[in-house]
Amino acid sequence: MNYQEALEYISSVYKFGSKLGLENIKYLLNLMGNPHEGLKVIHVAGTNGKGSTSSFISSVLVEQGYKVGLYTSPFLEEFTERIRVNGMNIPKGELAEITAFTKEKVEEMLASGMNHPTEFEVVTAIGFEYFKRQMVDYLVLEVGLGGRGDSTNVIDDPLVSVITPIDFDHIEYLGNTLDKIAYEKAGIIKKNSFVVSYPQKEEAMKVIQEVSAQQHSNLRVAAIDRIELLKYDEEGQCFNTYCGEEKFENLSISLLGEHQTQNATVALTALNVLMDEHHIPISREALYEGFKKAVWPGRLEIMKKNPTVLIDGAHNIHGIIALKKALTKLYAHKKILLVIAILGDKDVSGMLSEMIPLADQVVLTQPNNERALPVDKLAEKVMLYNKPIRKEAEIPQAVEAAFELAGEEDVIVFCGSLYMIGDVRTILRTRK
Protein backbone atom coordinates (compact mmCIF):
# COMPACT_ATOMS: atom_id res chain seq x y z
CA MET A 1 0.00 0.00 0.00
CA ASN A 2 1.39 3.43 -0.92
CA TYR A 3 0.48 6.82 0.59
CA GLN A 4 -2.27 7.57 -1.95
CA GLU A 5 -3.82 4.15 -1.45
CA ALA A 6 -3.70 4.68 2.32
CA LEU A 7 -5.60 7.98 1.97
CA GLU A 8 -8.13 6.35 -0.35
CA TYR A 9 -8.69 3.52 2.12
CA ILE A 10 -9.13 5.95 5.05
CA SER A 11 -11.58 8.15 3.13
CA SER A 12 -13.51 5.07 1.91
CA VAL A 13 -14.28 4.32 5.57
CA TYR A 14 -16.09 7.68 5.86
CA LYS A 15 -19.32 6.00 4.70
CA PHE A 16 -19.51 4.15 8.03
CA GLY A 17 -20.44 7.47 9.61
CA SER A 18 -19.70 8.79 13.08
CA LYS A 19 -20.69 6.54 15.98
CA LEU A 20 -19.84 7.26 19.59
CA GLY A 21 -18.88 4.30 21.77
CA LEU A 22 -15.73 2.35 22.64
CA GLU A 23 -16.58 -1.27 21.79
CA ASN A 24 -15.26 -1.13 18.20
CA ILE A 25 -12.05 0.77 18.87
CA LYS A 26 -11.20 -1.47 21.85
CA TYR A 27 -11.67 -4.57 19.72
CA LEU A 28 -9.51 -3.17 16.90
CA LEU A 29 -6.74 -2.00 19.24
CA ASN A 30 -6.73 -5.41 20.95
CA LEU A 31 -6.10 -7.08 17.57
CA MET A 32 -3.25 -4.60 17.05
CA GLY A 33 -1.63 -5.47 20.39
CA ASN A 34 -3.09 -2.50 22.31
CA PRO A 35 -0.59 0.13 21.15
CA HIS A 36 -2.27 2.77 23.34
CA GLU A 37 -1.38 1.01 26.58
CA GLY A 38 1.65 2.42 28.33
CA LEU A 39 1.47 5.80 26.58
CA LYS A 40 1.70 8.79 28.95
CA VAL A 41 -1.24 10.91 27.84
CA ILE A 42 -2.42 14.49 28.27
CA HIS A 43 -6.05 14.16 27.11
CA VAL A 44 -7.74 17.32 25.79
CA ALA A 45 -11.51 17.78 25.21
CA GLY A 46 -13.72 20.84 24.67
CA THR A 47 -15.66 22.66 21.97
CA ASN A 48 -13.17 25.41 21.16
CA GLY A 49 -9.47 25.92 21.76
CA LYS A 50 -8.55 22.20 21.92
CA GLY A 51 -5.98 22.47 19.13
CA SER A 52 -4.30 25.64 20.39
CA THR A 53 -4.20 24.35 23.97
CA SER A 54 -2.74 21.02 22.79
CA SER A 55 -0.17 22.90 20.71
CA PHE A 56 0.95 25.00 23.71
CA ILE A 57 1.37 21.91 25.91
CA SER A 58 3.21 19.97 23.20
CA SER A 59 5.50 22.90 22.34
CA VAL A 60 6.63 23.33 25.96
CA LEU A 61 7.32 19.60 26.41
CA VAL A 62 9.32 19.52 23.16
CA GLU A 63 11.28 22.58 24.30
CA GLN A 64 12.16 20.73 27.51
CA GLY A 65 13.71 17.99 25.37
CA TYR A 66 11.01 15.31 25.47
CA LYS A 67 9.79 13.31 22.49
CA VAL A 68 6.15 14.34 22.16
CA GLY A 69 3.31 12.93 20.08
CA LEU A 70 0.45 15.24 19.08
CA TYR A 71 -2.85 13.88 17.76
CA THR A 72 -5.34 16.45 16.41
CA SER A 73 -8.17 16.81 13.92
CA PRO A 74 -9.21 17.82 11.36
CA PHE A 75 -6.23 18.64 9.14
CA LEU A 76 -5.89 21.88 7.17
CA GLU A 77 -3.79 21.01 4.14
CA GLU A 78 -2.28 17.54 4.51
CA PHE A 79 -3.75 14.49 6.21
CA THR A 80 -0.40 13.75 7.90
CA GLU A 81 -0.78 16.91 10.05
CA ARG A 82 -3.12 14.91 12.30
CA ILE A 83 -0.36 12.63 13.62
CA ARG A 84 2.87 14.40 14.63
CA VAL A 85 5.97 13.83 16.71
CA ASN A 86 8.00 16.87 17.84
CA GLY A 87 6.22 19.05 15.29
CA MET A 88 6.93 16.72 12.34
CA ASN A 89 4.05 15.08 10.47
CA ILE A 90 4.02 11.29 10.24
CA PRO A 91 6.12 10.37 7.14
CA LYS A 92 3.91 9.32 4.21
CA GLY A 93 5.65 5.95 3.90
CA GLU A 94 5.01 5.15 7.56
CA LEU A 95 1.40 6.23 7.28
CA ALA A 96 1.01 3.83 4.34
CA GLU A 97 2.68 0.95 6.19
CA ILE A 98 0.68 1.40 9.40
CA THR A 99 -2.58 1.86 7.45
CA ALA A 100 -1.97 -1.47 5.67
CA PHE A 101 -1.35 -3.15 9.05
CA THR A 102 -4.51 -1.55 10.50
CA LYS A 103 -6.59 -2.58 7.45
CA GLU A 104 -5.55 -6.22 7.98
CA LYS A 105 -6.79 -6.03 11.57
CA VAL A 106 -10.05 -4.38 10.44
CA GLU A 107 -10.61 -7.31 8.07
CA GLU A 108 -10.00 -9.77 10.94
CA MET A 109 -12.49 -7.78 12.99
CA LEU A 110 -15.16 -7.98 10.29
CA ALA A 111 -14.54 -11.72 9.84
CA SER A 112 -15.34 -12.19 13.52
CA GLY A 113 -18.72 -10.46 13.07
CA MET A 114 -17.91 -7.00 14.49
CA ASN A 115 -19.16 -3.78 12.90
CA HIS A 116 -16.84 -1.85 10.60
CA PRO A 117 -14.95 0.85 12.54
CA THR A 118 -15.58 4.49 11.61
CA GLU A 119 -13.01 6.65 9.85
CA PHE A 120 -12.05 8.36 13.12
CA GLU A 121 -11.60 4.99 14.86
CA VAL A 122 -9.30 3.80 12.07
CA VAL A 123 -7.23 7.01 12.16
CA THR A 124 -7.02 6.91 15.97
CA ALA A 125 -5.75 3.32 15.80
CA ILE A 126 -3.14 4.35 13.20
CA GLY A 127 -2.07 7.23 15.45
CA PHE A 128 -1.66 5.04 18.53
CA GLU A 129 0.41 2.52 16.54
CA TYR A 130 2.71 5.27 15.24
CA PHE A 131 3.20 6.84 18.69
CA LYS A 132 3.98 3.42 20.17
CA ARG A 133 6.55 2.70 17.42
CA GLN A 134 8.10 6.13 17.98
CA MET A 135 8.31 5.44 21.72
CA VAL A 136 7.15 8.96 22.55
CA ASP A 137 7.74 10.21 26.10
CA TYR A 138 4.35 11.95 26.15
CA LEU A 139 1.28 12.08 23.92
CA VAL A 140 -0.98 15.14 23.75
CA LEU A 141 -4.23 13.56 22.59
CA GLU A 142 -7.06 15.72 21.31
CA VAL A 143 -10.59 14.34 21.48
CA GLY A 144 -12.40 14.17 18.12
CA LEU A 145 -16.02 14.56 19.20
CA GLY A 146 -17.44 14.85 22.70
CA GLY A 147 -15.34 12.78 25.08
CA ARG A 148 -17.24 9.95 26.76
CA GLY A 149 -17.80 7.89 23.60
CA ASP A 150 -14.92 9.30 21.56
CA SER A 151 -12.45 6.68 20.37
CA THR A 152 -9.55 8.50 22.10
CA ASN A 153 -11.29 7.71 25.41
CA VAL A 154 -9.80 4.21 25.51
CA ILE A 155 -7.07 5.86 27.60
CA ASP A 156 -7.71 4.69 31.18
CA ASP A 157 -5.15 6.69 33.14
CA PRO A 158 -4.21 10.03 31.58
CA LEU A 159 -1.64 12.15 33.41
CA VAL A 160 -4.19 14.97 33.22
CA SER A 161 -7.56 15.49 31.53
CA VAL A 162 -7.98 19.00 30.12
CA ILE A 163 -11.33 20.58 29.24
CA THR A 164 -11.26 23.75 27.12
CA PRO A 165 -14.30 26.07 26.60
CA ILE A 166 -17.57 24.19 26.12
CA ASP A 167 -20.26 25.56 23.85
CA PHE A 168 -22.95 24.38 21.46
CA ASP A 169 -21.64 22.24 18.59
CA HIS A 170 -22.46 18.76 17.22
CA ILE A 171 -25.74 18.84 19.15
CA GLU A 172 -27.07 15.88 17.12
CA TYR A 173 -24.43 13.71 18.85
CA LEU A 174 -23.81 15.45 22.16
CA GLY A 175 -27.19 16.90 23.17
CA ASN A 176 -28.88 20.28 22.88
CA THR A 177 -28.16 21.73 26.32
CA LEU A 178 -24.84 22.84 27.79
CA ASP A 179 -25.08 20.42 30.71
CA LYS A 180 -25.61 17.46 28.32
CA ILE A 181 -22.66 18.55 26.19
CA ALA A 182 -20.54 19.06 29.33
CA TYR A 183 -21.49 15.56 30.53
CA GLU A 184 -20.08 14.10 27.30
CA LYS A 185 -16.88 16.17 27.51
CA ALA A 186 -16.45 15.25 31.20
CA GLY A 187 -16.40 11.60 30.13
CA ILE A 188 -12.61 11.88 29.81
CA ILE A 189 -12.30 12.40 33.60
CA LYS A 190 -10.98 9.16 35.12
CA LYS A 191 -10.95 7.81 38.68
CA ASN A 192 -8.38 9.32 41.09
CA SER A 193 -6.94 11.52 38.37
CA PHE A 194 -6.22 15.19 37.70
CA VAL A 195 -8.48 17.53 35.76
CA VAL A 196 -7.88 21.04 34.45
CA SER A 197 -10.81 23.05 33.14
CA TYR A 198 -11.44 26.43 31.62
CA PRO A 199 -13.97 28.22 33.90
CA GLN A 200 -17.12 27.18 32.03
CA LYS A 201 -20.58 28.71 32.02
CA GLU A 202 -22.44 27.80 35.21
CA GLU A 203 -24.40 24.75 33.99
CA ALA A 204 -21.33 23.21 32.31
CA MET A 205 -19.04 23.94 35.28
CA LYS A 206 -21.49 22.28 37.66
CA VAL A 207 -21.35 19.04 35.62
CA ILE A 208 -17.53 19.03 35.53
CA GLN A 209 -17.39 19.61 39.30
CA GLU A 210 -19.89 16.80 39.93
CA VAL A 211 -18.10 14.28 37.67
CA SER A 212 -14.72 15.21 39.20
CA ALA A 213 -16.15 14.62 42.68
CA GLN A 214 -17.75 11.28 41.68
CA GLN A 215 -14.44 10.14 40.20
CA HIS A 216 -12.46 11.39 43.23
CA SER A 217 -10.43 13.50 40.83
CA ASN A 218 -8.54 16.65 41.69
CA LEU A 219 -9.99 19.57 39.68
CA ARG A 220 -8.09 22.78 38.96
CA VAL A 221 -9.83 25.66 37.22
CA ALA A 222 -7.59 27.91 35.10
CA ALA A 223 -7.40 31.49 36.44
CA ILE A 224 -8.32 33.28 33.23
CA ASP A 225 -9.90 36.12 35.20
CA ARG A 226 -6.40 37.09 36.43
CA ILE A 227 -4.78 37.52 33.01
CA GLU A 228 -3.17 40.96 32.52
CA LEU A 229 -2.65 41.80 28.85
CA LEU A 230 0.52 43.88 28.38
CA LYS A 231 0.94 44.02 24.59
CA TYR A 232 -1.22 43.03 21.64
CA ASP A 233 -0.45 43.61 17.97
CA GLU A 234 -0.11 41.68 14.70
CA GLU A 235 3.13 40.08 15.93
CA GLY A 236 1.51 38.45 18.98
CA GLN A 237 0.73 39.06 22.62
CA CYS A 238 2.54 39.49 25.91
CA PHE A 239 0.71 38.98 29.22
CA ASN A 240 0.94 38.08 32.90
CA THR A 241 -1.05 35.14 34.22
CA TYR A 242 -1.40 32.94 37.30
CA CYS A 243 -1.30 29.29 38.23
CA GLY A 244 -2.71 29.03 41.74
CA GLU A 245 -0.87 31.80 43.56
CA GLU A 246 2.18 31.62 41.32
CA LYS A 247 2.51 34.53 38.92
CA PHE A 248 4.00 34.09 35.44
CA GLU A 249 5.09 37.47 34.09
CA ASN A 250 5.71 38.54 30.50
CA LEU A 251 4.62 35.33 28.79
CA SER A 252 4.75 35.83 25.02
CA ILE A 253 2.73 33.97 22.39
CA SER A 254 2.57 34.47 18.63
CA LEU A 255 -1.06 33.32 18.39
CA LEU A 256 -3.51 36.21 18.04
CA GLY A 257 -6.81 36.80 19.83
CA GLU A 258 -7.29 37.36 23.55
CA HIS A 259 -8.85 33.89 23.77
CA GLN A 260 -5.35 32.52 23.07
CA THR A 261 -4.05 34.02 26.32
CA GLN A 262 -6.86 32.02 27.98
CA ASN A 263 -5.94 28.83 26.10
CA ALA A 264 -2.31 29.40 27.12
CA THR A 265 -3.38 29.75 30.77
CA VAL A 266 -5.34 26.48 30.57
CA ALA A 267 -2.23 24.83 29.04
CA LEU A 268 0.00 26.34 31.75
CA THR A 269 -2.32 24.96 34.45
CA ALA A 270 -2.11 21.49 32.86
CA LEU A 271 1.69 21.72 32.65
CA ASN A 272 1.73 22.67 36.33
CA VAL A 273 -0.13 19.44 37.13
CA LEU A 274 2.59 17.51 35.27
CA MET A 275 5.24 19.28 37.35
CA ASP A 276 3.47 19.26 40.74
CA GLU A 277 1.72 15.91 40.72
CA HIS A 278 3.80 13.76 38.35
CA HIS A 279 7.17 15.40 39.13
CA ILE A 280 7.95 15.89 35.44
CA PRO A 281 10.85 18.37 35.13
CA ILE A 282 9.94 21.45 33.07
CA SER A 283 12.14 24.53 33.40
CA ARG A 284 10.92 28.13 33.37
CA GLU A 285 12.99 28.64 30.23
CA ALA A 286 11.25 25.74 28.45
CA LEU A 287 7.85 27.11 29.52
CA TYR A 288 8.54 30.58 28.16
CA GLU A 289 10.25 29.41 24.96
CA GLY A 290 7.64 26.72 24.34
CA PHE A 291 4.79 29.22 24.58
CA LYS A 292 6.61 31.66 22.31
CA LYS A 293 7.28 28.99 19.65
CA ALA A 294 3.81 27.40 19.71
CA VAL A 295 2.02 27.66 16.38
CA TRP A 296 -1.47 26.63 15.34
CA PRO A 297 -2.06 27.34 11.64
CA GLY A 298 -5.37 28.61 10.35
CA ARG A 299 -6.37 30.37 13.56
CA LEU A 300 -6.18 34.15 13.26
CA GLU A 301 -3.18 33.57 11.02
CA ILE A 302 -1.83 36.48 9.00
CA MET A 303 -0.79 35.09 5.61
CA LYS A 304 0.13 38.26 3.69
CA LYS A 305 0.43 42.04 4.02
CA ASN A 306 -0.66 44.88 1.67
CA PRO A 307 -3.51 44.01 1.83
CA THR A 308 -3.47 42.18 5.16
CA VAL A 309 -4.83 38.67 4.58
CA LEU A 310 -6.00 36.79 7.65
CA ILE A 311 -7.46 33.27 7.83
CA ASP A 312 -9.39 31.88 10.77
CA GLY A 313 -10.98 28.47 11.24
CA ALA A 314 -13.83 29.78 13.43
CA HIS A 315 -16.80 27.56 12.55
CA ASN A 316 -19.22 28.03 15.44
CA ILE A 317 -20.61 30.94 17.46
CA HIS A 318 -17.94 30.83 20.20
CA GLY A 319 -15.13 30.88 17.62
CA ILE A 320 -16.78 33.61 15.53
CA ILE A 321 -17.21 35.87 18.60
CA ALA A 322 -13.49 35.41 19.43
CA LEU A 323 -12.60 36.34 15.83
CA LYS A 324 -14.88 39.39 15.90
CA LYS A 325 -13.24 40.61 19.14
CA ALA A 326 -9.77 40.23 17.64
CA LEU A 327 -10.68 42.05 14.42
CA THR A 328 -12.32 44.89 16.36
CA LYS A 329 -9.18 45.27 18.48
CA LEU A 330 -6.61 45.01 15.67
CA TYR A 331 -8.40 46.63 12.72
CA ALA A 332 -10.99 49.05 14.13
CA HIS A 333 -10.27 51.69 11.48
CA LYS A 334 -9.62 49.44 8.49
CA LYS A 335 -11.94 48.41 5.69
CA ILE A 336 -12.75 44.70 6.08
CA LEU A 337 -13.50 42.44 3.16
CA LEU A 338 -15.00 39.20 4.44
CA VAL A 339 -14.85 35.92 2.54
CA ILE A 340 -17.15 33.41 4.21
CA ALA A 341 -18.26 29.81 3.70
CA ILE A 342 -20.23 27.72 6.20
CA LEU A 343 -21.38 24.12 6.59
CA GLY A 344 -25.17 23.79 6.45
CA ASP A 345 -25.45 22.04 9.85
CA LYS A 346 -23.92 24.99 11.75
CA ASP A 347 -25.76 27.93 13.37
CA VAL A 348 -25.48 29.89 10.13
CA SER A 349 -27.76 32.79 11.12
CA GLY A 350 -26.02 33.22 14.49
CA MET A 351 -22.56 33.25 12.90
CA LEU A 352 -23.61 35.74 10.23
CA SER A 353 -25.22 38.06 12.78
CA GLU A 354 -21.83 38.40 14.51
CA MET A 355 -19.60 38.75 11.45
CA ILE A 356 -21.47 40.46 8.60
CA PRO A 357 -21.97 43.82 10.43
CA LEU A 358 -18.14 44.13 10.67
CA ALA A 359 -17.66 43.77 6.93
CA ASP A 360 -17.60 46.53 4.30
CA GLN A 361 -17.87 43.98 1.50
CA VAL A 362 -18.66 40.24 1.46
CA VAL A 363 -17.54 37.46 -0.88
CA LEU A 364 -19.55 34.26 -0.48
CA THR A 365 -18.25 30.80 -1.33
CA GLN A 366 -18.71 27.20 -0.20
CA PRO A 367 -16.43 24.57 1.37
CA ASN A 368 -15.49 21.40 -0.51
CA ASN A 369 -17.65 19.22 1.71
CA GLU A 370 -20.94 17.41 1.22
CA ARG A 371 -22.35 19.32 4.22
CA ALA A 372 -21.57 22.72 2.64
CA LEU A 373 -24.28 25.37 2.57
CA PRO A 374 -24.67 26.24 -1.15
CA VAL A 375 -23.54 29.75 -1.98
CA ASP A 376 -27.03 30.82 -3.18
CA LYS A 377 -28.62 29.74 0.11
CA LEU A 378 -25.91 31.60 2.03
CA ALA A 379 -26.56 34.69 -0.13
CA GLU A 380 -30.26 34.66 0.83
CA LYS A 381 -29.28 35.01 4.49
CA VAL A 382 -26.53 37.60 3.93
CA MET A 383 -28.78 39.86 1.79
CA LEU A 384 -30.67 40.85 4.96
CA TYR A 385 -27.63 42.92 6.00
CA ASN A 386 -27.56 45.21 2.93
CA LYS A 387 -23.84 44.71 2.30
CA PRO A 388 -22.24 44.55 -1.18
CA ILE A 389 -22.10 40.82 -2.04
CA ARG A 390 -20.17 38.81 -4.58
CA LYS A 391 -20.83 35.09 -5.06
CA GLU A 392 -18.09 32.68 -6.13
CA ALA A 393 -18.97 29.01 -5.62
CA GLU A 394 -15.38 27.88 -6.25
CA ILE A 395 -12.80 28.75 -3.57
CA PRO A 396 -9.94 29.74 -5.97
CA GLN A 397 -12.25 32.25 -7.68
CA ALA A 398 -13.36 33.59 -4.28
CA VAL A 399 -9.70 34.19 -3.34
CA GLU A 400 -9.07 36.08 -6.60
CA ALA A 401 -12.27 38.10 -6.14
CA ALA A 402 -11.10 39.19 -2.69
CA PHE A 403 -7.77 40.48 -4.04
CA GLU A 404 -9.55 42.22 -6.91
CA LEU A 405 -11.90 44.05 -4.51
CA ALA A 406 -9.43 44.94 -1.73
CA GLY A 407 -7.11 47.93 -1.60
CA GLU A 408 -3.57 47.72 -0.15
CA GLU A 409 -4.66 49.20 3.18
CA ASP A 410 -7.63 46.85 3.58
CA VAL A 411 -8.00 43.60 5.51
CA ILE A 412 -9.21 40.40 3.84
CA VAL A 413 -10.65 37.87 6.31
CA PHE A 414 -11.42 34.26 5.36
CA CYS A 415 -13.59 32.41 7.91
CA GLY A 416 -16.60 30.18 8.58
CA SER A 417 -15.26 26.69 7.87
CA LEU A 418 -12.01 24.84 8.52
CA TYR A 419 -12.54 22.98 5.24
CA MET A 420 -12.43 26.25 3.32
CA ILE A 421 -9.49 27.58 5.38
CA GLY A 422 -7.31 24.61 4.49
CA ASP A 423 -7.89 25.16 0.75
CA VAL A 424 -7.38 28.92 1.07
CA ARG A 425 -4.13 28.44 2.99
CA THR A 426 -2.73 26.24 0.21
CA ILE A 427 -3.77 28.77 -2.46
CA LEU A 428 -2.28 31.73 -0.54
CA ARG A 429 1.02 29.97 0.11
CA THR A 430 1.52 29.26 -3.60
CA ARG A 431 -0.09 32.40 -5.03
CA LYS A 432 2.27 34.81 -6.83
Whether residue 285 is found in the same domain as residue 210: yes
3-class SS string, 400-430? HHHHHHCCCCCEEEEECCHHHHHHHHHHHHH
> Is 157 in the same domain as 199?
yes
Number of domains in the chain: 2
- Domain housing 181: 3-293
Alpha carbon distance 161, 186 (integer Å) = 9
Q: Checking phi first, is residue 111 left (phi over 0); if not, alpha (psi -120 to 50) or beta?
A: alpha
What number of other Cβ atoms are within 10 A of residue 21's Cβ? Answer: 15
Single out the residue in 293, 326, 360 at which a domain terminates: 293
Please report the DSSP string for 88-132 in residue order.
Answer: EEPPHHHHHHHHHHHHHHHHHHHHTTPPPPPHHHHHHHHHHHHHH
User: What CATH number has the domain bearing residue 359?
Assistant: 3.90.190.20
Of 269, 293, 317, the residue that ends a domain is: 293
Q: Based on the fold, state whether residues 189 and 119 are members of the same structural domain.
A: yes
In this prediction the pTM is 0.93
Same domain, 110 and 206: yes
DSSP code, position 281: -
| Same-domain pairing of 320 and 278 | no
- Taking residue 15's Cβ as centre, other Cβ atoms within 10 Å add up to 9
Tell me the pLDDT of the chain (432 aa) as tens digits. 999 999 999 999 877 766 778 999 999 999 999 999 999 999 999 998 999 999 999 999 999 999 999 999 989 999 999 999 999 999 999 999 999 999 999 999 999 999 999 999 999 999 999 999 999 999 999 999 888 999 999 999 999 999 999 987 655 656 668 989 999 999 999 999 999 999 999 999 999 999 999 999 999 999 999 999 999 999 999 999 999 889 999 999 999 999 999 999 999 999 999 999 999 999 999 999 999 999 999 999 999 999 999 999 988 888 899 999 999 999 999 999 999 999 998 889 999 999 999 999 999 999 988 889 999 999 999 999 999 999 999 999 999 999 999 999 999 999 999 999 999 999 999 987
Same domain? For 240 and 352 the reply is: no
Residue 423: which of 390, 398, 391 has the closest Cα? 398
State whether 278 and 325 are in the same domain. Answer: no
CB–CB of 366/375 below 8 Å? yes
Q: Count how many Cα atoms sit within 13 Å of the Cα of residue 167 in the half-sphere of its side chain.
A: 16
